[in-house]
């Protein structure tokens, strides 16, 4: 009796969070995993998580994650009998699927002909039309002459949308407003399509002014069964990049869902689909809920980035389903066994700078903290603290998903999770996501593809001034660090923890108070701290606030501010102070105490390290004369260099460290005498 072949070892032809995601499920199913990695990913989390890992080439995706020959060699060398392509890279490449099969490994994805059927938008629309899937009024024929396209546009009525048949995901698309603009528009669209995709075939559609993007998750097996796992609303996008995805879609009605599910399943069956797929629809926002308000847009023949929201509302593991179906099993559940439970919302945390048009902002994750996971919060990430977001790949750091019984609850869970997410080292869209999730417009589900532009004013919170609690927490942390380093430096002194032992260049004023200076963007803030019972009294912006607290063993600060208890993290990154506390992540810059001293015209005599680090270079020797501002030593800390400069003209009396030495925060580096 023959035994069905069962996948025993899966090679994941991908990286980052989706590779980690697939490994987790495979491991849970008792299947071995093989990671592949580029030069840039040798130390990555997905490599660490997998049972085996294979180097496949250079950092550039073309040399590694898109390198079919290297991947096939890795499949052969490791004996992998299954290949999961993840999303992106080669996930929708029919030739790669065929090459995997030829190498003896099951491609965990649809059959190559199903991938090809959806590769051309015109071809896909003809197939969908034949399967009576609703399409926008339009033209997707072979006759590409100007006469034919002009006639078609006139019949559809302006404005029209012209799209490249070989395009997708918003690339190679332009709106044409009038018959007069058509000839030029067609010529431009053809040039772009030819240059972008090597194919200038165009299609024309009626233009939808205020669309929503709603997609249906479908799943088919090789035995003729097909189900849907409800819809996802991905209307909040910018530049065709999804920012928020949720399930179910707000405003969905049972009638519309039934019609959309029917259309999606017909679409899958029309192309002989097997596995996980997504059928995307454009929806007329004004007619949301009506059973005929949606139109087929594209079908994605892969697992999507946003699949977790479907998993959370349906309580299924879509990767497990993919593996089972690829193995020849029937779908684990029938349609009437798949129930919709609650509401899930996902946001994509990116290393990008919202203030600079969301440009990627690669860099080290010097500090990275994600909220704890459970029933209500899921985090899919592929990086750890200390890892680097490189410029070579998509700069996504994590997907953060909130779930609850209803949409309001899911928003609350997600907002809370975002408040507990901290990233220092690279600029991220975290504050933007927090503002978005906390906005009234999002609560009202005012969704369509123009959401971000329409609400830009509320979504870019960079201009907020720092709040008093955050400033008090930053000052408290500074005071505690100072007391600790003073204690360490004072060593034998009787009162080791007295802040008056501080020697790191702070100005101790005659009246016995400490001046702390910060910068918040352009604004300079001064906090005056007085010793008080059990802590300090802070004076700033016309207020007096009593603060106290301590760092807990986990490194977080338990702070008491005006009788109110907060738990916060205060992360030092050079002079930056990132307060991850009651008001999300806020950044202050500490005004360099040495520079501050110099500007005050005083020469302290001793120069100390502003933070723990390593001596990169020593620029002076004992006996040298130095002038104000001259660099004396360079300290590297957290991958940043800090110059220690002379606060005034003087003579070097002592140099306490040499190149390569480690220094503690507050350690005395050099001694100067004033000249
Ligand atoms: C459209 C459209 C309006 N009318 N087609 C963008 C992605 C691509 N797959 C299809 N897209 C659009 N097609 C017609 N006939 C508006 C968009 C569109 C869009 C669609 C979904 C999500 C975000 C979008 C942002 C801008 C434009």
Cα 431 to middle of ligand 1, angstroms? 27
pLDDT bracket for residue 593 (50, 70, 90): low
pLDDT of residue 515: 87
β 625-626/606-608 pair status: unpaired
Residue 169: pLDDT above 90?
no
Q: CA 89, CA 465: separation in Å to the nearest integer?
A: 42
Residue 325: pLDDT above 50?
yes
Q: Are 654 and 624 in contact (CB under 8 A)?
A: no
Neighbour-count burial of 553, counting CB atoms closer than 10 A to its CB (0-12 exposed, 13-18 middle, 19+ buried): exposed
pLDDT of residue 486: 66
Residue 541: pLDDT above 70?
yes
Catalytic residue, candidates 212, 302, 587, 590: 302
Structure tokens at 216: 């249906």
Residue 59, ligand 1, Cβ within 6 A: no
Cα 210 to middle of ligand 1, angstroms? 9
pLDDT of residue 462: 57
Residue 210, ligand 1, Cβ within 6 A: no
Cα 65 to middle of ligand 1, angstroms? 29
Beta bridge partners of 203: 163
Cα 285 to middle of ligand 1, angstroms? 13
pLDDT of residue 464: 63
DSSP annotation string for 383-411: --TT-EE-TTS--EEEEEEEEESSHHHHH
Residue 255: pLDDT above 90?
yes
Which residue, 388, 377, 421, is CA-closest to 569? 421
pLDDT of residue 463: 57
Neighbour-count burial of 213, counting CB atoms closer than 10 A to its CB (0-12 exposed, 13-18 middle, 19+ buried): buried
Q: CA 8, CA 33: separation in Å to the nearest integer?
A: 9
Region 232-248: what's the mean pLDDT? 96
Region 327-334: what's the mean pLDDT? 98
Which residue, 614, 652, 611, 613, is CA-closest to 631? 652
Structure tokens at 646: 């002379």
As a whole number, the mean pLDDT across the chain is 90
- The answer to whether the peptide bond before residue 159 is cis (omega within 30 degrees of 0) is yes
Region 544-567: what's the mean pLDDT? 93
Which residue, 140, 137, 180, 174, is CA-closest to 156? 137
Q: Which atom of ligand 1 is nearest to the CA of 297?
A: 9
Q: What is the DSSP letter of 426?
A: S
Cα 155 to middle of ligand 1, angstroms? 21
Active site residue 302: yes
Percentage of residues of the chain with pLDDT beyond 90: 72
Residue 245, ligand 1, Cβ within 6 A: no
Percentage of residues of the chain with pLDDT beyond 70: 92
Residue 45: pLDDT above 80?
yes
Q: Are 672 and 659 in contact (CB under 8 A)?
A: no
Assign residue 308 a region: left if phi > 0, alpha if psi is -120 to 50, beta otherwise?
Answer: alpha
Residue 170, ligand 1, Cβ within 6 A: yes
pLDDT of residue 284: 97
β 359-360/564-573 pair status: unpaired
Beta strands in 39-169 (DSSP E): 52-57, 82-84, 106-107, 138-139, 160-168
Residue 167, ligand 1, Cβ within 6 A: no
Residue 176, ligand 1, Cβ within 6 A: no
Per-residue burial over 77-111, b = 16 or more CB atoms within 10 Å of its CB, e = otherwise: ebebbbbbbbbbbbbbbbebbebbeebebbbbbbb
- The region of weakest confidence among 6-20, 522-536, 642-656 is 642-656
Q: Are 36 and 62 in contact (CB under 8 A)?
A: no
| Number of neighbouring beta carbons within 10 Å of residue 513 | 17
pLDDT of residue 512: 64
For ligand 1, atom 11: residue with the closest CA = 170
Q: CA 104, CA 418: separation in Å to the nearest integer?
A: 44
E strand or H helix that includes residue 551 = strand 543-551
pLDDT of residue 507: 41
Structure tokens at 451: 């959401």
Q: CA 276, CA 226: separation in Å to the nearest integer?
A: 10
> pLDDT tens, 600-644?
333 445 688 777 788 988 999 999 998 877 889 888 766 556 778
Which residue, 110, 61, 69, is CA-closest to 89? 61
Residue 240, ligand 1, Cβ within 6 A: yes
- The answer to whether the peptide bond before residue 71 is cis (omega within 30 degrees of 0) is no
> pLDDT tens, 449-508?
999 999 988 888 655 678 889 999 999 999 998 888 766 655 544 443 444 444 443 444
Assign residue 120 a region: left if phi > 0, alpha if psi is -120 to 50, beta otherwise?
Answer: beta
Region 643-662: what's the mean pLDDT? 86
For ligand 1, atom 7: residue with the closest CA = 170
pLDDT of residue 7: 97
């Amino acid at each position: 009796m023959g035994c069905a072949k069962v996948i025993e070892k899966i090679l994941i032809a991908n990286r980052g969070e989706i590779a980690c995601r697939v490994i987790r499920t495979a491991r849970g199913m008792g299947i071995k995993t093989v990671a592949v990695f580029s030069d840039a990913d040798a130390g990555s989390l997905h490599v660490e998580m997998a049972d085996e890992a294979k180097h496949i080439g250079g950092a550039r995706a073309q040399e590694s994650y898109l390198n079919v020959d290297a991947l096939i060699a890795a499949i052969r060398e490791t004996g992998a009998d299954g290949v999961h392509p993840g999303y992106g890279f080669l996930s929708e490449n029919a030739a790669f699927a065929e090459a995997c099969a030829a190498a003896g490994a099951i491609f965990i994805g649809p059959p190559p002909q199903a991938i090809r059927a959806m590769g051309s938008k015109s071809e896909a629309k003809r197939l969908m039309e034949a399967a009576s899937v609703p399409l926008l009024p339009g033209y997707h024929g072979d006759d590409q002459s100007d006469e034919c396209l002009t006639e078609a546009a006139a019949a559809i009525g302006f404005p029209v949308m012209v799209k490249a048949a070989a395009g997708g995901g918003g690339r190679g698309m332009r709106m044409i407003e009038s018959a007069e603009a058509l000839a030029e528009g067609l010529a431009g669209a053809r040039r772009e399509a030819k240059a972008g995709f090597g194919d200038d075939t165009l299609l024309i559609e009626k233009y939808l002014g205020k669309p929503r993007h709603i997609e249906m998750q479908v799943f088919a097996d090789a035995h003729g069964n097909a189900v849907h796992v409800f819809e996802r609303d991905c209307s909040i996008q910018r530049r065709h990049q999804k920012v928020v995805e949720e399930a179910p879609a707000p405003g969905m009605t049972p009638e519309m869902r039934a019609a959309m599910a029917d259309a999606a399943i017909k679409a899958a069956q029309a192309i002989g689909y097997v596995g996980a797929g997504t059928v995307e629809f454009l929806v007329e926002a004004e007619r949301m809920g009506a059973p005929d308000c949606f139109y087929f847009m594209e079908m994605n023949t892969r697992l999507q980035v946003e699949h977790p929201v479907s998993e959370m509302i349906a309580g299924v593991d879509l990767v497990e389903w993919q593996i089972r179906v690829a193995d020849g099993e029937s779908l684990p559940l029938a349609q009437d066994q798949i129930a919709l439970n609650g509401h899930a919302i996902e946001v994509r945390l990116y290393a990008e700078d919202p203030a600079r048009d969301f440009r990627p902002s690669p860099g080290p994750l010097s500090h990275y903290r994600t909220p704890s996971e459970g029933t209500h919060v899921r985090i899919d990430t592929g990086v750890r603290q200390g890892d680097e977001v490189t410029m070579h790949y998509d700069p996504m750091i994590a997907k953060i998903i909130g779930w609850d019984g209803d949409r309001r609850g899911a928003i609350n869970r997600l907002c809370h999770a975002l408040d507990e997410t901290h990233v220092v080292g690279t600029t991220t869209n975290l504050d933007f996501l927090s503002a978005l999730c906390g906005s009234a417009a999002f609560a009202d589900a005012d969704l369509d593809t123009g959401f971000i532009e329409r609400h830009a004013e509320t979504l870019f919170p960079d201009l907020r001034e720092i709040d008093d609690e955050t400033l008090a927490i930053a000052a408290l942390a500074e005071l505690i660090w100072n007391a600790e380093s003073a204690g360490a430096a004072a060593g034998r002194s009787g009162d080791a923890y007295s802040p008056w032992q501080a020697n790191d260049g702070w100005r101790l004023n005659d009246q016995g108070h400490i001046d702390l200076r910060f910068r918040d963007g352009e604004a300079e803030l001064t906090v005056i701290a007085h010793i008080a019972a059990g802590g300090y009294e802070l004076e700033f912006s016309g207020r007096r606030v009593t603060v106290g607290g301590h760092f807990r063993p986990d490194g977080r600060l338990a702070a008491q501010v005006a009788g109110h208890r907060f738990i916060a993290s205060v992360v030092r990154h050079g002079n930056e102070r990132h307060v991850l506390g009651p008001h999300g992540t806020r950044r202050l810059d500490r005004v360099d105490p040495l520079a501050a001293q110099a500007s005050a015209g005083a020469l302290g005599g001793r120069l100390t390290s502003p933070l723990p680090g390593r001596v990169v270079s020593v620029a002076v020797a004992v006996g040298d004369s130095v002038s104000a501002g001259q660099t004396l030593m360079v300290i590297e800390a957290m991958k940043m260099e800090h110059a220690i400069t002379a606060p005034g003209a003087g003579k070097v009396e002592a140099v306490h460290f040499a190149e390569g030495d480690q220094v503690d925060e507050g350690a005395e580096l050099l001694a100067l005498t004033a000249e």
